[in-house]
Structure formats: C-alpha cells, structure tokens
C-alpha cells in the first residue's frame, strides 16, 4: 500500500496505479476508522480495480464551537486497518497541503438543500464538505467514490454536486454499519462514557420502531415520529435536536409518508452529537 502525503507523491502514485482501463475507487474519510469505513473500502473494491482512501480532518466543515481540535485521530492505526483491508493507496495530507493558500476564496455552495436538517444546525458545514470533496475528486480523478448512508444528507448533496457540476464520478452509498445493539458506528462514539454508550442505542431503537410502524401500514408523519421521540425521552442523557421524515431527494418534510422516505435525526448523548437515519420501506 502506497501512502502519499503530498500532492506530488499522490500524482506519482496515481501514475503507476490508475492506468488506462483500470477503474479507481475512492473512499474519503476523516480517519479514526471503524468497520463502517472499512465496509466502504470493500464496496469500492467490488466496483474498481484500484482502491484509494484519504484521511483528512477537514477544518472547513467544523464550526467555531465544534470539535475540530479534539476530533479523534490515530493515523498509524488507520493505515494498518486500510492495508489489511486491501487498499492500494492512502492520501494523508496536512491542512497546508490541501489548502496551500489558506482558507479558500472559492468554495462550493450547497444551495438550499444545505440549509435543511444538518445544515440548519451547522451553518457552513456542507459548504466545507462539498469543497473538500470537490478538491479530492480533482486530485485523485476517481471513477467511483463510496460514501456511507449514515451521513444521509451529505450523500444526497455529494450526489447532486457531482451530477450538476458534471464531475464524472459515480457516487455509491454504502449501508450504515451498526454495533450489535444497533448504534450506528461513528468515530465520535469514542467520546461516549459507559453510561452514555448504554443510552445511545435508543436512537436506533426509535428509528427501527418507526420503520416497523411504517411496514405495518402507518403513513402519518406524526405517528411515525412518535416512537423516536418516546425512545429518546426515556433517557435523561439524550436530548433530541431534530427529527424529521423527508423526501430522500428534496429533503422536504412529507405527510402522508410514501415508501422510500427517510427519517433523519440528530441528538446529543451527553455532550456528544450523534446522527442516524432509516429508510422507510413497505413490507
């Protein structure tokens, strides 16, 4: 596995790996990897001849009061995990390598969809996400890129950016990987105390209860959101920030709720902010 830390090293590695007729799969990450990330590497391997990943904690997508400085990092561990999973190339740049002129003057505007759900509570977040993804696509020129469906709104916006700006990259969504008790895997789960970790699966429990109600025929938005609210209200450690049932493309609330709609939520477990979602499917 090649580890490239500069643009020059990356270009040299790509020249040897991404030859004509070979598809390049790409998995962007912020590191501190878990099985969810590694499943995306597997998905890329199924669709490409060469698999590249990046590890970069992108400062543009963190707000002033968010956890940029404390975000978990362990590059040595991540590299071992990626090599064991069969990645061919890892791009591991410093901030100065990604943004050599400092904070970029030109960024990618996510448009109105970036102001909903996560965007309503994290102003500027998706501008930072789309800007760094566009830069990484420019640097690696992948044929296919894989993103986790746990970050549902991020996936929607990246798909839209790639399509509307004609970036020529196939975008694939990888299924959310969960712990045995249902909690969606996340690097931020490492922040949770034992008591918080025990309470956190209530997020998934509420979503699964809502999905079960939908499968039984319930189509009212309020009735579907009720078990989610109830699950979180059952623990003093959990504080719901938002929960909505939305169209999977327009991200607008829907009622009555059709098959394929998504329930998306964000909640604080102690001081740790967690997100999750479920796609509603008829039985």
User: What are the catalytic residues?
Assistant: 37
Q: Do 77 and 208 reside in the same domain of the chain?
A: no
Which 8-state DSSP code applies to residue 24?
Answer: E
Domain boundary among 145, 174, 203: 174
Q: Do 35 and 97 reside in the same domain of the chain?
A: yes
Residue 179 in any domain: the answer is no
Q: Do 200 and 68 reside in the same domain of the chain?
A: no
For the chain, percent of residues with pLDDT exceeding 90: 99
* pLDDT tens profile 180-217: 999 999 999 999 999 999 999 999 999 999 999 999 99
* pLDDT tens profile 68-121: 999 999 999 999 999 999 999 999 999 999 999 999 999 999 999 999 999 999
How confident is the model at residue 23, as a pLDDT? Answer: 98
Residue 216 in any domain: the answer is yes
Domain that residue 232 falls in: 187-276
Nearest alpha carbon to residue 30 among 138, 122, 119, 154: 154
Nearest alpha carbon to residue 203 among 168, 239, 175: 239
Q: Do 81 and 210 reside in the same domain of the chain?
A: no
* 260/282 Cα distance (integer angstroms): 8
pTM for the model stands at: 0.96
- Is residue 283 predicted with pLDDT exceeding 90? no
């Amino acid at each position: 596995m090649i580890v490239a830390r500069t643009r020059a090293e990356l270009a040299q590695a790509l020249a040897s790996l991404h030859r004509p007729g070979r598809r390049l799969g790409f998995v962007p990450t912020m590191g501190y990897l878990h099985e969810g990330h590694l499943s995306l590497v597997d998905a890329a391997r199924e669709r490409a001849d060469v698999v590249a990943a990046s590890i970069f904690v992108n400062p543009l997508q963190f707000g002033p009061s968010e956890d940029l400085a404390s975000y978990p990092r362990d590059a040595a561990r991540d590299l071992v995990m990626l090599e064991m999973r069969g990645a061919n190339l890892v791009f591991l740049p410093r901030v100065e390598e990604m943004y050599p002129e400092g904070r970029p003057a030109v960024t990618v505007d996510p448009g109105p969809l970036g102001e909903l759900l996560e965007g309503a509570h994290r102003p500027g977040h998706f501008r930072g996400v789309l800007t760094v993804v566009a830069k990484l696509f420019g640097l690696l020129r992948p044929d296919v890129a894989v993103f986790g469906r746990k970050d549902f709104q991020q996936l929607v916006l990246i798909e839209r950016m790639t399509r509307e700006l004609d970036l020529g990259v196939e975008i694939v969504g990888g299924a959310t990987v969960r712990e045995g008790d249902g909690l969606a895997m996340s690097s931020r789960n490492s922040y949770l105390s034992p008591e918080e970790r025990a309470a956190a699966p209530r997020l998934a429990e509420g979503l699964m209860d809502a999905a079960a109600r939908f499968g039984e025929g319930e189509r009212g938005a309020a009735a579907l959101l009720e078990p989610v609210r109830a699950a979180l209200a059952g623990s003093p450690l959990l504080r719901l920030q938002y929960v909505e049932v939305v169209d999977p493309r327009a991200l607008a609330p829907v009622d009555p709720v059709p098959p394929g709609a998504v329930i998306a939520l964000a909640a604080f477990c102690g001081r740790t902010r967690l997100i999750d979602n479920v796609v509603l499917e008829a039985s």
